[in-house]
Protein backbone atom coordinates (compact mmCIF):
# COMPACT_ATOMS: atom_id res chain seq x y z
CA UNK A 1 0.00 0.00 0.00
CA UNK A 2 2.79 2.42 0.84
CA UNK A 3 5.76 2.71 -1.47
CA UNK A 4 9.29 3.49 -0.40
CA UNK A 5 8.73 7.22 -0.87
CA UNK A 6 5.43 7.31 1.01
CA UNK A 7 5.09 7.55 4.76
CA UNK A 8 2.55 5.53 6.68
CA UNK A 9 -0.24 7.70 8.06
CA UNK A 10 -0.18 8.35 11.77
CA UNK A 11 -3.04 6.62 13.54
CA UNK A 12 -4.17 8.02 16.89
CA UNK A 13 -5.13 5.47 19.54
CA UNK A 14 -6.95 6.23 22.79
CA UNK A 15 -7.30 2.58 23.86
CA UNK A 16 -5.00 2.52 26.87
CA UNK A 17 -4.83 -1.27 27.21
CA UNK A 18 -3.90 -2.02 23.57
CA UNK A 19 -0.43 -3.50 23.08
CA UNK A 20 0.05 -1.34 19.96
CA UNK A 21 -0.68 1.95 21.75
CA UNK A 22 2.56 3.86 22.26
CA UNK A 23 2.01 7.38 23.55
CA UNK A 24 -1.46 7.50 21.93
CA UNK A 25 -0.05 6.45 18.55
CA UNK A 26 -0.74 3.06 16.95
CA UNK A 27 2.44 1.10 16.24
CA UNK A 28 0.82 -1.90 14.51
CA UNK A 29 2.37 -2.87 11.19
CA UNK A 30 -1.07 -2.86 9.58
CA UNK A 31 -4.53 -1.90 10.78
CA UNK A 32 -7.79 -3.72 10.08
CA UNK A 33 -11.09 -1.89 10.62
CA UNK A 34 -14.30 -3.89 10.23
CA UNK A 35 -18.02 -3.22 10.33
CA UNK A 36 -19.56 -4.08 13.65
CA UNK A 37 -22.60 -6.25 13.07
CA UNK A 38 -23.65 -5.50 9.49
CA UNK A 39 -22.10 -5.38 6.02
CA UNK A 40 -22.07 -1.58 5.80
CA UNK A 41 -21.11 0.96 8.44
CA UNK A 42 -23.53 3.81 9.04
CA UNK A 43 -21.26 5.78 11.38
CA UNK A 44 -18.00 5.41 13.29
CA UNK A 45 -20.03 3.73 16.06
CA UNK A 46 -20.69 0.81 13.70
CA UNK A 47 -17.00 0.09 13.11
CA UNK A 48 -14.36 -1.72 15.15
CA UNK A 49 -10.60 -2.06 15.09
CA UNK A 50 -9.91 -5.78 14.83
CA UNK A 51 -6.16 -5.12 15.10
CA UNK A 52 -6.60 -4.61 18.87
CA UNK A 53 -4.35 -6.79 20.99
CA UNK A 54 -4.73 -6.63 24.75
CA UNK A 55 -1.58 -5.48 26.57
CA UNK A 56 -1.03 -8.17 29.21
CA UNK A 57 1.08 -5.82 31.33
CA UNK A 58 -1.73 -3.23 31.59
CA UNK A 59 -3.44 -2.99 34.97
CA UNK A 60 -6.30 -0.76 35.99
- The residues of the chain scoring below 50 in pLDDT are none
Q: Mind giving me the DSSP string for 4-17?
A: TTSPPPP-B---TT
pTM of the model: 0.74
State pLDDT tens for residues 35-48. Answer: 987 788 989 999 99
Contacts of 34 (CB under 8 A, 6+ apart): 47, 48, 50
Measured between its terminal Cα atoms, the distance across the chain in Å is: 37
Amino acid sequence: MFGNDEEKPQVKCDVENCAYNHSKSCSAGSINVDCSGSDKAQSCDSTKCSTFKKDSSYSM
